[in-house]
Amino acid sequence: MDPIQIESGQRYLTRINPKRIPHIFTDVLIIGGGIAGSRAALQIDPRLETIIVNKGKVTQSNSAYAQGGIAGVLDPLDDISNHIEDTLAAGKDLCNRELVEHVCHAAPRHIRELIEYGADFDKQDGKLALTKEGGHSHRRVAHALGDATGKELMRALVLAVENRPSIQTWTKTPTLDLVTEDGKCRGAIIWNRYHGKTLIWAKQVILATGGAGCLFRETTNPPLATGDGHALAFRAGALLQDMEFMQFHPTVLYIAGGARYLISEAVRGEGAYLRDSNGVRFMSEYHPDLELAHRDVVSRAITDRMLKTNHSCVYLDLTHLKRSLIKERFPNISEVCASFGLDLSRDQIPVRPGAHYMIGGVKTDLEARTSVPHLWAAGEVTSTGLHGSNRLASNSLLEGLIFGAAAGKGASAAALSQPDQFSASLLPEWDSEKRSDEDLNSDDLRNSLASLMWRDVGITRSAESLRDAKEKVDFWSRYVVNREFKTLSGWELQNMLLVAQLMIASAIERRESRGVHYRSDFPETDAAFQKHISVIADSRK
């Protein structure tokens, strides 16, 4: 199927005068310092200069927020073929089998390598402790710090990165756009807190910017997950696919005034029940796998139950589990709940679903190559075909790790064989007149967008809701896209509107239900749609 051509609006978010801004030269530029970006950096030959630019702090990423763990066959009673089959079953006939096999085979080696980098996984009787999550036929999820796996893995990787003198990490440095010339990626325009707009020229660029959960009102993601990488790759001409597939996590803490904190699926993996507001354990009415059915099933069941009971949430019940197990396995969740006066051995946790993981993204191959020469990508910003239409829990840190390493390897080899070729003649000119952002309240629009996406492009969609969403997002985009913002929140808003357009166009096109994409007007899976929907910027503009 041909990609849907979508008008990208302006090619670059801001004007720059190349003679008036600082220029930096490096061999490899990595945009994003989560698990994919950090792992990529460690794969770059130390003879090359590498810069990692991070929009926020290294602790503010979906990688660092990850609770449950990382999946891989580490138990002799399990088998790699089981991990492969579980991943394929979750993906509902849309996974790339060759790639799934590659990832599941590589998983144990990459997890052991993390241990060599210093990651301290939880142990039981001297062996790695393994838990279970929805869709896994065996206990195969390694975890750390009880329920803060991402924090521990990032600690180890960031330390390893800091020990490499050839790598510099710049935090609080958002990227505005990738710079392309003749269709090839040459670097990026970034915002530096001392010098403002700055051009970084790089022989090879790796995109590892993470997800887009903040497009939705309810989300487990940190505030920085605004789909920037998706948007800037799209503007640079990259092919994106599967943009209709946003995975909703079934259990997000729902307390008025409190942050939407993830309550890990591992809680259900250790035996917690889901109950409605009448105390009924309801999952048996929806799926034989009960609380450990695939996430899309559990999220829809919860939404249905909230409607039927006319209540704003359901409840996770751990009260039948041992107090010591709860404290030991879920120390952070227990602490957060305690801060709202909830004692998990006595009280139930109010939860409802929220946007969690962006399955769609920049299309990449087994070597993490994108469709744009000199641009590589890894992690949540990509669509590798591993997840199909529904990601199996705890396969995402794994994907970031494996394709981060692949991107680093590819970019490193390419940069080593590439001569320095930076010259003023490569400098693009941007001189178009743009309207300023002065009369626009970007926060207000951002909230309206997140509410609209949650209502119309959320867990259940239909032709009507998608048409409504398209109309509004197109209208907002018309007066936002061609302005020149001076603040991060403005650039984020422009990126979010663009990514919303890509999600909506893809969701309209997929006239069936599959995995995380549920259309109330097409509730069945249709074999005619066993294919990827891709999007690309309209080159006629």
Q: Pick the binder of ligand SIN from 10, 60, 175, 394 (CB under 6 A).
A: 394
- State the DSSP string of 491-502: HHHHHHHHHHHH
The interface mask with ligand SIN, positions 62-101, x = CB under 6 A, is -----xx---------------------------------
Cβ nearer to ligand SIN, comparing 67 with 175: 67
CB of 265 to ligand SIN, least distance (A): 3
Count residues near ligand SIN (CB under 6 A).
10
What backbone torsions phi and psi does residue 317 show, to the nearest 5 degrees? -115, 115
- Whether 295 is a known active-site residue: answer yes
Strands 4-6 and 175-181: unpaired
**Part of the chain binding ligand SIN (CB under 6 A), chosen from 262-270, 327-335, 364-372, 419-427:** 262-270
Site residues for ligand SIN, 331-390, by CB under 6 A, read 356-357
The answer to whether 393 and 357 are in contact (CB under 8 A) is no
Q: Is 292 in the site for ligand SIN (CB under 6 A)?
A: no
> Distance from CA of residue 214 to its chain's centroid?
10
**Part of the chain binding ligand SIN (CB under 6 A), chosen from 52-60, 261-269, 311-319, 511-519:** 261-269
| Active-site option among 186, 217, 268, 295 | 295
Residue type for position 220 = T
Residue reference for tokens 């109010």 = 350
CB of 266 to ligand SIN, least distance (A): 6
**Residue 198: beta bridge partners?**
190
Three-class DSSP category at 229:
helix
Site residues for ligand SIN, 9-68, by CB under 6 A, read 67-68
End-to-end CA distance of the chain: 22
CB of 148 to ligand SIN, least distance (A): 10
Please tell me what DSSP assigns to residue 429. Answer: -
Residue reference for tokens 């790759």 = 233
CB of 54 to ligand SIN, least distance (A): 21
Q: Is 396 in the site for ligand SIN (CB under 6 A)?
A: yes
CB of 396 to ligand SIN, least distance (A): 5
**Part of the chain binding ligand SIN (CB under 6 A), chosen from 277-285, 303-311, 392-400, 486-494:** 392-400
Cβ nearer to ligand SIN, comparing 198 with 384: 384
Q: Pick the binder of ligand SIN from 152, 177, 265, 437 (CB under 6 A).
A: 265
**Part of the chain binding ligand SIN (CB under 6 A), chosen from 46-54, 259-267, 360-368, 527-535:** 259-267
Whole-angstrom distance, CA of residue 222 vs CA of residue 487: 19
Q: Is 264 in the site for ligand SIN (CB under 6 A)?
A: yes
Cβ nearer to ligand SIN, comparing 176 with 272: 272
Whole-angstrom distance, CA of residue 107 vs CA of residue 34: 18
Cβ nearer to ligand SIN, comparing 399 with 437: 399
CB of 521 to ligand SIN, least distance (A): 29
Q: Is 465 in the site for ligand SIN (CB under 6 A)?
A: no
Whole-angstrom distance, CA of residue 197 vs CA of residue 199: 7
Q: Pick the binder of ligand SIN from 212, 381, 393, 481 (CB under 6 A).
A: 393
Residue reference for tokens 């969609």 = 461
Please tell me what DSSP assigns to residue 262. Answer: B
CB of 30 to ligand SIN, least distance (A): 23
**Part of the chain binding ligand SIN (CB under 6 A), chosen from 264-272, 366-374, 437-445, 469-477:** 264-272
Cβ nearer to ligand SIN, comparing 68 with 350: 68
The answer to whether 378 and 208 are in contact (CB under 8 A) is yes
Cβ nearer to ligand SIN, comparing 245 with 491: 245
Closest-CA residue to 351 (of 221, 251, 217, 283): 251
Q: Is 266 in the site for ligand SIN (CB under 6 A)?
A: yes
- State the DSSP string of 62-114: HHHH--S-EE---STTS-HHHHHHHHHHHHTS-S-HHHHHHHHHHHHHHHHHH
Q: Is 211 in the site for ligand SIN (CB under 6 A)?
A: no
Q: What number of CA atoms fall less than 13 Å from residue 82's CA on the CB side?
A: 15
Whole-angstrom distance, CA of residue 74 vs CA of residue 467: 47
The answer to whether 150 and 380 are in contact (CB under 8 A) is no
Cβ nearer to ligand SIN, comparing 187 with 350: 350
The answer to whether 17 and 6 are in contact (CB under 8 A) is no
What is the four-CA torsion angle of 296, 297, 300, 303, rounded to 10 degrees? -110
Whole-angstrom distance, CA of residue 534 vs CA of residue 244: 10
Q: Is 157 in the site for ligand SIN (CB under 6 A)?
A: no
Whole-angstrom distance, CA of residue 59 vs CA of residue 78: 33
**Part of the chain binding ligand SIN (CB under 6 A), chosen from 90-98, 258-266, 409-417, 460-468:** 258-266
What are the tokens at 348? 């139930």
Active site residues: 295
| Residues of the shown chain interacting with ligand SIN in the complex, contacts defined by CB under 6 A | 67-68, 264-266, 356-357, 393-394, 396
